[in-house]
Amino acid sequence: MIADLPPGLILILGAILVPFLPGRLRQLYLLALPVLGGLQLYGLEHGSFAQTQIFGYQLTLLRVDALSVVFGTIFLITAFLNVIYGLHQRDAVQEAAALVYSGAAIGAVFVGDLISLFVFWELTAISSVFLIWASRNERAYRAGMRYLIIQVGSGVILLAGVILHAQATGSIAFDRLGLTNLATALIFIAFGIKCAFPFLHNWMQDAYPEATVVGTVVLSAFTTKLAIYALARAFPGTEILIYIGAIMTVFPVFFAVIENDLRRVLAFSLNNQLGFMVVGIGVGTPVALNGAISHAFVHIIYKALLFMSMGAVLHRVGTVKASELGGLFRSMPLTAVFCMVGAASISAFPLFSGFVTKSLTLTGVAEAGYVITWLVLVFASAGVLEHSGIKIPYFAFFAHDSGLRCREAPANMLIAMGLAAFLCIFLGVYPEPLYAMLPYQVDYEPYTTSHVLSQLQLLFFAMLAFAVLIRTGLYPAERPSTNLNTDWIYRKALPALVRWAMTVGAAVRDGVLARGRRRLERALVQITRHHGPEGILARTVTTGNTVLWVALLLAVMLLLNFV
């Protein structure tokens, strides 16, 4: 392997060749790039490399430590799974965009300074929008524009924060910053936008479901987890993150309940899962941080698996609206099983990956004494079971028979889902390799009788509640709908405000112009009166009269001189 070459650059530079390669060769090439990236990563030693000086600032393109290796590893694994999932498509735009996007996220994870971070941060935004636009319809184009404005906006805020920070401290090192002044606050907000903090979140639910089948799977992995990484790097132990994260776990639960588009349900679910990680980073103890980081790791896999299963449904039947689906287990039994593995993992069933990491976060929160936050997280866990654990597989594959019949998902999709499902179970049964990668020494045993029993009680009694709701007919039917969210502000309210301002502005302009015209008319009348043909100032005065007036004036002056 080439010394000092950042693994992300292998994917970014490798993307250049993609459009020029024919069918099979291109597929092999696409598969090889993440593998090469992985080999490069594991050939690297801990430390800072690939450093260069620009305008007196030291840029570090490769900082290898435990935190960057965990995120780099999972990003590369996901990039590989995503390539397999997308092998059936023949779309160089998506393939190249996915590579550049994945590479940019991996690149960002390994940088050691804020300027390089900014470059990769913006590159993730610009490259990923093509995965939305690749849907090639008006809706996706508009959603992509909104997404791009917000993502690039995040980068601009980051840059402003970095400039202020560099001015104040003379340093651009991407290390623990802490929320101390305007500069770090701007950096914090930039991270918060990408992390989908409450009120800054809706770009995700807006844009992700509009991307292509493969695009949504790719998008779900990188942007938000890059933000989680950035927060873990720069703001661990920042208390406000605990409350932000707690809100993030709760509010999407309610929106997911009423959402009809199952990929949008998963986007809400993604938001909820990020909340757990943000809380862990906010608590900032070694256990909580390990919890957040390991949760990010397994979350990327099971969330990708869930998006893959819904993507397979969309690919086969052309819709993922709960109101139009049901009974697909007949046609897509393997996809249904893989989806349920993802659902069990995200719901944190014992023996599935979510169990061994979410419990680490919850233990960290409880040990730090945050009782209410802990209760909120347990409540949100029941919510996760509702929308991701039950609603997704139940309404897509079971419930009433929609009559839709199709073939099983393509083989490449099944392989990608199978590998992801294997990882979900493997890490759930045998979490030690993951725990060993974490930045802090872990002395934690997830499989205690008390813990397993508590979790099973929580989950099975919640499932009982679902069964009761279904049997009593209290569970609301899924309806085609649009649910208002914060994007209403910029999609409806602000345009309406602008329209109103333009109407009022036009009225004011017309009024001012009318009044001005009236004044001008009045002035013209006066001018005509004085200067017109009959006006006093227009009369001709005889020379004699003028001489008389001048003589009179001189006489007066003379008299005054003698007085």
What is the chain's length? 563
Pick between residue 498 and residue 538 the one whose CB is nearest to another protein: 498
Kindly state the smallest distance separating residue 302's Cβ from another protein, in Å: 20
Residue 276 to residue 272: CA distance in whole angstroms: 7
- What residues contact residue 216 under an 8 Å CB cut-off, 6+ apart? 131, 208, 209, 263, 307, 311
The phi and psi torsions of 86 (rounded to 5 degrees) equal -100, 10
Pick between residue 385 and residue 423 the one whose CB is nearest to another protein: 385
Pick between residue 50 and residue 390 the one whose CB is nearest to another protein: 390
Kindly state the smallest distance separating residue 63's Cβ from another protein, in Å: 35
- What residues contact residue 380 under an 8 Å CB cut-off, 6+ apart? 249, 250, 253, 272, 275, 276
Pick between residue 185 and residue 257 the one whose CB is nearest to another protein: 257
Pick between residue 36 and residue 382 the one whose CB is nearest to another protein: 382
Kindly state the smallest distance separating residue 453's Cβ from another protein, in Å: 6
Pick between residue 11 and residue 380 the one whose CB is nearest to another protein: 380
Pick between residue 300 and residue 332 the one whose CB is nearest to another protein: 332
CB atoms within 10 A of CB 425: 15
Pick between residue 7 and residue 389 the one whose CB is nearest to another protein: 389
Residue pair 54/132 in contact (Cβ under 8 Å)? The answer is no
Q: For the chain, state the CA radius of gyration.
A: 32
Pick between residue 195 and residue 217 the one whose CB is nearest to another protein: 217
Residue 330 to residue 407: CA distance in whole angstroms: 10
Pick between residue 122 and residue 386 the one whose CB is nearest to another protein: 386
Alpha carbon 77 to its chain centroid, in Å, reads: 20
Kindly state the smallest distance separating residue 348's Cβ from another protein, in Å: 12
Pick between residue 167 and residue 449 the one whose CB is nearest to another protein: 449
Kindly state the smallest distance separating residue 470's Cβ from another protein, in Å: 9
Kindly state the smallest distance separating residue 443's Cβ from another protein, in Å: 15
> What does each C-alpha distance from 420 to 182, 306, 313, 329, 387 come to in angstroms?
42, 10, 17, 19, 20
Q: What is the dihedral of CA 431, 432, 435, 440, to 10 degrees?
A: 160
Residues that bind another protein (CB under 8 A): 139, 253-255, 257-258, 315-318, 327, 329-331, 363, 366-367, 371, 374, 378-379, 382-383, 385-386, 398, 401, 404-408, 410, 448-450, 453-469, 471, 474-476, 479-485, 491-492
**59 forms bridges with which residues in the sheet?**
52
Kindly state the smallest distance separating residue 311's Cβ from another protein, in Å: 12
Residue pair 392/259 in contact (Cβ under 8 Å)? The answer is no
For residue 244, which of 275, 286, 204 has the smallest C-alpha distance?
275
Residue pair 339/346 in contact (Cβ under 8 Å)? The answer is no
Residue 282 to residue 278: CA distance in whole angstroms: 6
Looking at this protein, which amino acid is placed at residue 386?
E
Kindly state the smallest distance separating residue 532's Cβ from another protein, in Å: 58
Residue pair 391/333 in contact (Cβ under 8 Å)? The answer is no
Residue 117 to residue 111: CA distance in whole angstroms: 6
Kindly state the smallest distance separating residue 499's Cβ from another protein, in Å: 14
Kindly state the smallest distance separating residue 513's Cβ from another protein, in Å: 34
Kindly state the smallest distance separating residue 229's Cβ from another protein, in Å: 28
CB atoms within 10 A of CB 473: 8
Residue 334 to residue 316: CA distance in whole angstroms: 14
